[in-house]
């Protein structure tokens, strides 16, 4: 939402790219901006032109964001300027350091533009920052085996803790949104897996049906083969037998266990006639009809069928 009566935000950022991103975001939302690349430049710029708010990175070339905040708060002319730290605050020690230096809030990286704008608007709408009462005693506490001494007034402490709470709520919302997206992604993945599983199951069933049909066909073929009244011999490469039915066993005297895998001519043709027999076999397979072994025969897709004498 655009704002009337532009207020100036001082961006203290060592990264030119990050500074440009913040400057663009604030400019689109009605703020004027100043940019400082380090702590010394930030303090000098703030003294020349008092900003409405300072947005400072924690890690700077010459001093950290805590040092910048302390310098600004120590200057009577700038002590009322809200300072927001852009950091990765993650534990109590970081929060206590932010309180001790007088910071008014913090924003975690990577920042959420809506939260940044909301935090700035909240701080600027409340007028000048209430300063710490120097007469109040410092807070002394022990945490994690370490001693901390924090100089923070009640008003500043409440504001800082509210900022912490708002940031925690935002992070929780982001986490919930990420979890919901992950849940939806898992559901889509499960649907895809179920669909693929169903497709695979159907494919397996089809293959099993095909295998059963093939097996049945093979069994019927085997039954016909074994009950045939003709000798059926199927030849593969180099005239080697791969089918030798029961009638072939009766006609030629070799069991199928011995015939299968052997060269047919070595089984049933005397050595001196083998070459001639091979030649006649090759000639026989060209037209598919001929006279083999003195009996009328015909070629089939698997080899030759010889008629037996009855």
Torsion of CA 178, 184, 188, 193, to 10 degrees: 80
Q: What percentage of residues in the chain have a pLDDT greater than 90?
A: 17
The per-residue pLDDT of the chain, averaged, comes to 76
What pLDDT is stored for residue 129 in this prediction?
41
Q: Are 34 and 10 in contact (CB under 8 A)?
A: yes
113-124 and 16-28 are packed helices; what angle lies between their axes, rounded to 10 degrees?
60
pLDDT band at 309 (very low <50, low <70, confident <90, very high): very low
**What is the average pLDDT across 71-90?**
85
pLDDT at 121 over 80: yes
pLDDT of residue 246 exceeding 80: yes
150 vs 190: CA distance, rounded Å: 53
Report pLDDT for 168. 66
Instruction: Reply yes or no on whether the pLDDT at 221 is more than 70.
Output: yes
Q: Which residue has the higher pLDDT, 160 or 68?
A: 68
Query: How wide is the angle at C-alpha 48 spanned by C-alphas 9 and 22, nearest 5°?
Result: 20
Domains and CATH numbers, the chain: 8-182 (3.40.50.2300), 228-306 (3.30.450.20)
| 93-107, 136-150, 292-306: range with highest mean pLDDT | 93-107
The b/e string for 145-177 (b: 16+ C-beta within 10 A; e otherwise) is eeebebebbeebeebbeebbebbeebeeeeeee
* Per-residue model confidence as pLDDT tens digits over 256-270: 888 888 887 777 788
- pLDDT at 310 (0 to 100): 33
Do residues 152 and 160 make contact, with C-beta atoms less than 8 angstroms apart? yes
Residue-level pLDDT at 47: 94
Mean pLDDT check: name the lowest of 29-33, 51-55, 74-78, 176-180: 176-180
| Digit-coded pLDDT (tens) for 13-31 | 988 888 898 999 999 999 9
Biggest CA-to-CA distance, the chain: 131
Locate all alpha helices (DSSP H) within the chain, ordered by sequence. Answer: 16-28, 39-48, 65-74, 92-101, 113-124, 154-227, 246-252, 256-259, 264-268, 274-285
pTM score, whole prediction: 0.47
């Amino acid at each position: 939402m655009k704002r009337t009566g532009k207020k100036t935000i001082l961006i203290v950022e060592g990264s030119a790219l990050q500074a440009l991103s913040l400057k663009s975001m604030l400019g689109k939302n009605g703020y004027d901006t100043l940019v400082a690349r380090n702590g010394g430049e930030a303090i000098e710029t703030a003294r020349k032109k008092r900003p409405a708010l300072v947005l400072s990175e924690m890690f700077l070339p010459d001093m950290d964001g805590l040092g910048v905040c302390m310098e600004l708060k120590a200057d009577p002319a700038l002590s009322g300027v809200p300072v927001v730290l852009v950091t990765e605050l993650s534990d109590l020690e970081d929060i206590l350091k932010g309180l001790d230096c007088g910071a008014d809030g913090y924003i975690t990286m990577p920042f959420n533009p809506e939260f940044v704008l909301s935090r700035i608007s909240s701080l600027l709408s409340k007028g000048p920052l209430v300063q710490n009462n120097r007469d109040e005693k410092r807070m002394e506490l022990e945490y994690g085996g370490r001693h901390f001494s924090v100089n923070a007034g009640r008003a500043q402490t409440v504001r800082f803790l509210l900022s912490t709470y708002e940031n925690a709520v935002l992070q929780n919302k982001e986490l919930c949104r990420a979890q919901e997206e992950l849940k939806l992604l898992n559901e889509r993945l499960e649907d895809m897996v179920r669909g693929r599983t169903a497709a695979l199951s159907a494919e397996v069933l089809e293959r099993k049906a095909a295998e059963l049909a093939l097996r049945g066909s093979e069994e019927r073929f085997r039954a016909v083969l074994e009950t045939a009244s003709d000798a059926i011999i199927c030849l593969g490469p180099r005239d080697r037998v791969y089918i030798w039915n029961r009638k072939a066993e009766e006609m030629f005297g070799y069991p199928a266990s011995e015939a299968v895998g052997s060269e047919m001519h070595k089984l049933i043709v005397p050595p001196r006639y083998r070459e001639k027999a091979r030649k006649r076999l090759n000639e026989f397979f060209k037209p598919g009809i001929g006279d083999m072994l003195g009996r009328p025969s015909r070629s089939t897709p698997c080899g030759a069928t010889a008629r037996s004498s009855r």
